[in-house]
A and B are shown apart, each in its own frame.
Chain A
Amino acid sequence: MSDKKTDSRWRFRPEEEKHDIYSLHRQALREPPEPQEGLEPPPWWLWVISVLLIFWAGFYLGRYGGVFGPYVHVLEEGRRTERETALVPKEPETTVSGAEVYARVCAACHQPNGQGVPGVFPPLAGSEWVLKDPETPILIVLHGLQGPIEVKGTVYNNVMPEWGSKLSNEEIAAVLTYVRNSWGNQTAEITPDMVEKVRKETQERKTHWTQEELLKLKK
């Protein structure tokens, strides 16, 4: 890259300057000199902090280094030999909160206030299907529901997925008890045993319920 020609264009040539040199380069000439560096020694405590931090770093890597293998989520296990356990989900908690299950499973469609979405997802508050007997809501949650269904005088036509394979008996019992006792609903509690019983009775069923089937079952 030969920039000689360009350079000469830019090189400063005082003989061509028509202006007073000082006013032309006022800004550059008034500056202090280019910065220099002093030679003060660093404060002693900076070294102390640095050494302490490096010690801490060693400790932290030893504790949370996960033996530098391709293992993920090795947090509490630290150096334990059975590191792989970290990959396996922990046992579900023994006490299940119905409100929590509702928030994570049901609220997306039926809404946090149990009112559903008008014309699309039916309400649970005051719904005859939720309130009439304990088995019907268990059946619906276990196997899902499909096709037109009349709730509180309005017909809804949509699909509710099955949750039987995804929720435990305890969770279904807790969430149904919650649904049957919230937003003005007030009915009997549902226990895990009742869910277990219904689950056993209908274990061959692989498809969603329809309104007619449910009505036939519970005359």
Chain B
Amino acid sequence: MMFIRAYVFFLGVLATLFLGWAALTFIPGIQIKEVKPLPGLKPYTEQELRGRAIYIREGCVYCHSQQTRPDGFGVDQRRGWGRPSVPGDYVYDRPHLLGTMRTGPDLFNIGARQPSEDWHLIHLYNPRATSPGSIMPPYPWLFEEAEEAPEEFYRMQGKRVVPVPEQFRPEGKVVIATQEALDLVAYLLSLNHTYPVKAEKR
């Protein structure tokens, strides 16, 4: 009768998993470990890390990638999303946020492409205020509403009034960014990988 000896079977099963693990994660892990952070890459500041945690909390990664492909494979560069990304760009990323969906545009260089803080704040408060037709959800809980008053009044208290267009904010109210919103925008603005890549020589 044909039957596989059980222990041969179990060894085989363990071996296949081990092979895949070694080839796909262990060996590349060792190869990539040798990669140093690129000279132009700055570690995240405290505030940017707080913003990054909000990026993770709100699940931005499910619609936005942070990886750009080389010319000849997609048109990322012609869209102005920046040079192809390399392992040295991600050394400070933990967890990684490469993303695999582009329901919205790539954000690898959003800080360079859209450096306006106001734009980001308005966009987070209601994406359709800056980008008509967008299907991005709004994040009103990153903002506070306050009685309408001249901007100076709030600026004196150290508050940041967001210039949301009138038809997108509650009547007679102004929108004030919370610290969380400012942190998130600080993180987005830090996504600037326009520095050059020195060719890695062997």
* Residues in A lying within 8 Å of B, measured CB to CB: 69-73, 75-76, 84-90, 100-101, 104-105, 108-109, 111, 117-121, 157-161, 166
Say yes or no: B116 contacts A160, CB within 8 Å.
Answer: yes
* In the complex, chain B residues 184-202 whose Cβ is within 8 Å of any chain A Cβ: 194, 197, 199-202
- Determine if A87 and B118 form an interchain contact, defined as CB atoms under 8 angstroms apart: no
A sample of 21 inter-chain contacts (CB < 8 A) reads A69-B31, A70-B28, A70-B31, A70-B32, A72-B84, A73-B70, A73-B84, A75-B70, A84-B200, A84-B201, A87-B199, A87-B200, A101-B80, A104-B79, A104-B80, A108-B130, A117-B122, A119-B163, A120-B130, A159-B116, A161-B115
Asked if B199 and A85 make an inter-chain contact with CB atoms under 8 angstroms apart, the answer reads yes
Given A75-B73, A105-B113, A70:B199 Cβ within 8 A: no
Known contacts A70-B32, A104-B80, A117-B129; A88 and B118 CB within 8 A of each other? no
Q: A105-B113, A108-B130 are in contact. Are A72 and B72 (CB under 8 A)?
A: no
**Is B64's CB within 8 Å of the partner chain A?**
no
Known: A84-B199, A108-B114, A108-B130. A158 touches B77 (CB 8 A): no
Interface string of B111-129 (1 = CB under 8 A from A): 0111111110010000001
For the complex formed, measure the closest distance between the CB of B34 and the CB atoms of chain A, giving whole angstroms: 7
A90→B130 contact, CB < 8 A? no
Tell me the B65-83 residues at the A interface (CB within 8 Å). 69-73, 77-80, 83
Q: Quick one: closest B residue to A144, CB to CB?
A: B115
**Interface bracket on B:** 35 or more
Bound Cα distance from A111 to B86, whole angstroms = 32
A158 proximity list for chain B (CB < 8 A): 116, 118, 163
A120/B165 in contact, CB under 8 A: yes
Contact A89 B77 (CB under 8 A): yes
Residues from chain A with a CB closer than 8 A to the CB of B34 are 70
CB distance from A83 to the nearest CB of B (A): 9
Report chain B residues within 8 Å CB of A157.
163
Whether the pair B130, A109 counts as a contact (CB closer than 8 A) is yes
Separation in Å of the B191 CB from the closest CB of chain A? Answer: 15
User: Is B22 at the interface (CB under 8 A from chain A)?
Assistant: no
The one of B28, B112, B131, B202 that contacts A166, using a Cβ cutoff of 8 Å: B112
Residues of A within 8 A of B115 (CB): 161
Interface check B172, CB cutoff 8 A: no
Q: Which residues of B contact A109 (CB under 8 A)?
A: 116, 119, 130
Residue of A70, A87, A101, A121 near B84 (CB, 8 A) is A87
Question: Is residue B15 contacting chain A, with contact meaning CB distance below 8 A?
Answer: no
Least CB distance from B9 to A in Å reads 16
Cβ B70 vs Cβ A86 within 8 A: yes
Beyond the given A70-B34, A71-B200, A89-B83, could you list 4 further A-B residue pairs with CB under 8 A, ordered by the A residue number?
A70-B87, A120-B165, A160-B116, A161-B115
Query: Is B93 an interface residue, CB under 8 A from the partner?
Result: no
How far is A101 from B112 in the complex, measured between Cα atoms in Å? 15
Q: How far is the CA of A116 from the CA of B167 in the complex (A)?
A: 14
Contact partner, A120, options B28, B163, B199, Cβ 8 Å:
B163
Q: How far is the CA of A17 from the CA of B131 in the complex (A)?
A: 72
Closest to B167 in A: A118
Q: In the complex, which of the residues A72, A86, A119 contacts B166, with contact meaning CB atoms closer than 8 Å?
A: A119
Per the bound structure, the CA–CA distance linking A108 and B114 in Å amounts to 8
A184 to B113, alpha carbons, bound, how many Å?
Answer: 27
Closest Cβ of chain A to B1, distance in Å, is 11
B197 contacts A88, C-beta separation under 8 Å: yes
In the complex formed, the residue of A with least CB distance to B194 is A166
Q: Which residues of chain B have C-beta atoms less than 8 A from A84's C-beta?
A: 199-201
Q: For residue B133, which residue of chain A has the nearest CB?
A: A112
Which 6 A-B pairs rank lowest in CB-CB distance, beginning with the nearest? A84-B199, A104-B80, A70-B31, A73-B70, A161-B115, A89-B83
